[in-house]
Chain A
Amino acid sequence: MSIGMAAAYFSYILTIAFWPRLLGLPLWNGTVITWGFVIGIGLIALGFVLTAVYVGRANSRFDHLSQRLLEEVQ
């Protein structure tokens, strides 16, 4: 998951570095809102969603596993 997040982030940074005009394209004809905004907000949301997914899975599955492990050890 950290790889996914890092990949998304660095592809964004590289787009800024090499192809900034792509992010300046308007979302549809006649609007001033650009793709850059949608992608930017999307990245922020992605960060939160990945965090939430991880926490959810960790709380249900991993904790259960380590709990069992702890019990076996003791």
Chain B
Amino acid sequence: MISRQTCGPLLATAFALLSDPARADALTSALGTRQSLNVTAIIMFLGFVAVSLGVTCWAARQGTSTAKDFYAAGGGLKGFQNGLAIAGDYTSAATFLGVTALVYTSGYDGMIYAIGFLVGFPMILFLIAEPLRNLGRYTFADVVAYRLSEVPVRAIAGVNTLVIVVFYLIAQMVGAGKLIQLLFGLPYIYAVGIVGGLMMVYVTFGGMLATTWVQIIKAVLLMSGSALMSFLILWHFGFSLEALFREAVTLHPKAAAIMAPGGLVKDPISAMSLGLALIFGTAGLPHILMRFFTVRNARDARTSVLVATGFISVFYSLLFVLGFGAIALVSANPQFSDAAGGLIGGANMVALHLADAVGGSLLLGFISAVAFATILAVVSGLTLAGASAASHDLYARVIRRGRASEHEEVLVSKAAVVAISLLAMGLGVVFENQNIAFMVGLVFAIAASANFPVILLSIVWPDLTTRGAVSGSLAGLLSSVGLVALSPGVWTATLKFGPAPFPYDNPALVSVPLAFAVSWAVSVLDRSTAAALVRASFGAQHVRAQTGLGIE
């Protein structure tokens, strides 16, 4: 817990660290190569940090000492608030900058990704949202462990969560470091340190409540920023989509080819595999699933998905306007190209150049600050999910077999937050110059193969046994990690071992069916008495999953 007295110094330190222009200036000129310091961006970002630390202090005073407060914000969030926070969790800086850049470079292909990300949401709602809310308390492992034997199931779910969180954090950290280096002219290592330090503060002191509000503020900022930019673009073209697309087709080197699917998805197998990973991966991401425990009942869980889907649909449609707007307004403007004719800072910076082009340095500053805020919010959500797995699943239930007090459990998860933050910062520095493009794909593949099949089967299939769940999950985890390691993206591009043994970058088409098949086969063959007991208890679980009978 944090008292009123400690909040003041906390804010003061953060400002001292971030608002010393002399020091930042000295650093920039010493290294020289980075973009000049963007004062508007820094002021706006400091504003965000101040507000979010204020929220953290407020959340800390509401209390984070019980497990329910720390993991689930007391379980009393409204469906609308939670929906906004889910939208926030799902719209990372990587999507904002990445999808815009993808549309900018390859046109229509960007839409394939956007749709894949989106389709996952109705699937979550139809298949698992309500049972999840009715059966679980803090982590999705609660759901799987409801009737299955707790220790092995939680052990594997906890490990899966930590693997997903660590890979996702590395990808976000490296992206954040590079972005901040470019935007604010800070050295990479400082950037990683600032992100890591702030997320540690948010999560340890404010728990789920602070994380949720940081997420909500950021979601609103990001949505309004993209809406404003889209409005300015359309205004520029007299609100005619036809005129916008025509200009883009005229200027883009691929001309009319940008209006149709192109070379991004190479063959049918890659297309199917990517589709599977995107659609089911969302339903297996621990930081998204965890959000369903912050609302009171299944009705609020439904509302959150509806609100989240609405905001994300609008956001992705806007990204499309942004991408084409960038082709039309940025690509031909020499102000944004470097000496070699490429875009300054690479294609991922195109959304920021676009802000500059349509709204000048004020909008550029705003969008830069929003991008930074986005990274902070997403890493905080991930860290909390990782900490809950480490403490609630692994420590309290597997290591201490349920004998740990609630106070102890919360202390352990705060320690886990610190440990995960430090690990993420360390790995962020180690991976600075590595090709990390495969990591987000890997995260989705693991989520779709190791988590989703087990969650789904435990909810809908009476005959699933403990052995089946554990072996299926393990098969999903090992096959997805193994196949990614053998894929062109890692084997050839990152490790430079020559031609890859497994020809596809995304393993989901193999690993998801494999996980289902192993779960099924092992469950069917399982003749132990424990298996019979587990099967017999499905009826009671089903009633609770559907109605919420007996829920706290």
By the criterion CB–CB under 8 Å, are B122 and A43 in contact? no
A70/B547 contact (C-beta < 8 A), A2-B123, A24-B259, A43-B115 known: yes
A17 to B241 alpha-carbon distance, docked (Å): 27
List chain A residues, Cβ under 8 A from B122.
1-2, 5, 47, 50-51, 54
Q: Is B115 in contact with A6, judged by CB distance below 8 angstroms?
A: no
CB within 8 A of B126: which of A1, A37, A69? Answer: A1
**B contact residues around A63 at 8 Å (CB):** 298-299
Per the bound structure, the CA–CA distance linking A5 and B275 in Å amounts to: 13
B121 touches A47 (CB 8 A): yes
Q: Is the Cβ of B260 less than 8 Å from the Cβ of A17?
A: no
Does B119 sit at the interface, judged by CB under 8 A? yes
Chain A interface, DSSP helix/strand/loop, else mixed: helix
Q: How far is the CB of B477 from chain A (nearest CB, A)?
A: 24
Are A44 and B125 in touch, CB under 8 angstroms?
A: no
* B136-176 to A contact mask, C-beta < 8 Å, 1/0: 00000000000000000000000000000000000000000
B259 lies within 8 A of A34 (CB):
yes
The one of A10, A34, A66 in contact with B548, judged by C-beta atoms closer than 8 angstroms, is A66
Measured between alpha carbons, how far is A44 from B121 in the docked complex, in Å?
Answer: 11
Proximity bits, A23-55, B CB within 8 Å = 1, else 0? 110000001111011001101110110111011
User: Is the Cβ of A17 less than 8 Å from the Cβ of B118?
Assistant: no
Interface check B413, CB cutoff 8 A: no
B317 touches A41 (CB 8 A): yes
Q: Complex formed: what's the CA distance from A51 to B127 in Å? A: 12
Chain B interface extent, by class? 35 or more
Q: Is the CB–CB distance between A51 and B546 below 8 Å?
A: no
Q: How far is the CB of B431 from chain A (nearest CB, A)?
A: 31
Residues of chain B in range 198-242 having any CB-CB distance to chain A below 8 Å: 241-242
Bound-complex Cα distance A59 to B316 (A): 27
B268 touches A14 (CB 8 A): yes
On whether the beta carbons of B126 and A17 are closer than 8 Å, the reply is: no
A31 contact set on B, CB distance < 8 A: 242
Contact of B261 among A10, A20, A45, A48 (CB under 8 A): A20
B530 within 8 A of A: no
- Choose among A5, A36, A47, A66 the residue that contacts B259 (Cβ–Cβ < 8 A): A36
Q: Which residues of A contact B267 (CB under 8 A)?
A: 17
B313 x A44 contact (CB < 8 A): yes
Q: Are B119 and A32 in contact, with the CB atoms below 8 A?
A: no
CB proximity of A17 to chain B, nearest CB, Å: 4
Contact indicator B126/A54 (Cβ below 8 Å): yes
Q: Is B272 an interface residue (CB 8 A)?
A: yes
Contacts of B246 in A (CB 8 A): 32
Q: Which of B127, B268, B549 lies in contact with A18, CB distance below 8 A?
A: B268
State the CA gap A23–B262 with chains docked (Å): 10
Cβ-defined partner of A54 (8 Å) among B115, B125, B260: B125
Known contacts A23-B108, A32-B249, A66-B547; A16/B302 CB under 8 A: no
Chain B positions within 8 Å of A18 at CB level: 268
Cα distance, A12 to B546, chains bound together (Å)? 32
Q: Which of A17, A58, A73 contacts B549 (CB 8 A)?
A: A73
The interface residues of chain A lying within 8 Å CB-to-CB of B274 are 13
Cβ–Cβ contact A13 & B125, under 8 A = no
Chain B residue with minimal CB distance to A68?
B547
Q: Of the candidates B114, B126, B260, which one forms a contact with A2 in the assembled complex, judged by CB atoms under 8 Å apart?
A: B126
Pick from B259, B268, B302, B549: contact of A33, CB below 8 A: B259
> A41 — which chain B residues lie within 8 A by C-beta?
317
Output the least CB separation between A29 and chain B (Å). 13
Contact at B119–A47, with CB atoms within 8 Å? yes
Q: Does B380 contact A (CB under 8 A)?
A: no
At the interface, yes or no: A21 with Cβ under 8 Å from chain B? Answer: yes
Nearest A residue (CB) for B128: A2
**Most chain B CB within a 10 A radius of its CB, from A24, A59, A70:** A24
Within 8 Å by CB of A47, from B249, B268, B299, B309, lies B309
Q: List 15 A-B contacts (CB under 8 A).
A: A2-B127, A5-B126, A6-B123, A13-B116, A13-B272, A16-B271, A21-B260, A33-B259, A34-B259, A40-B114, A48-B313, A54-B125, A55-B303, A55-B305, A66-B546
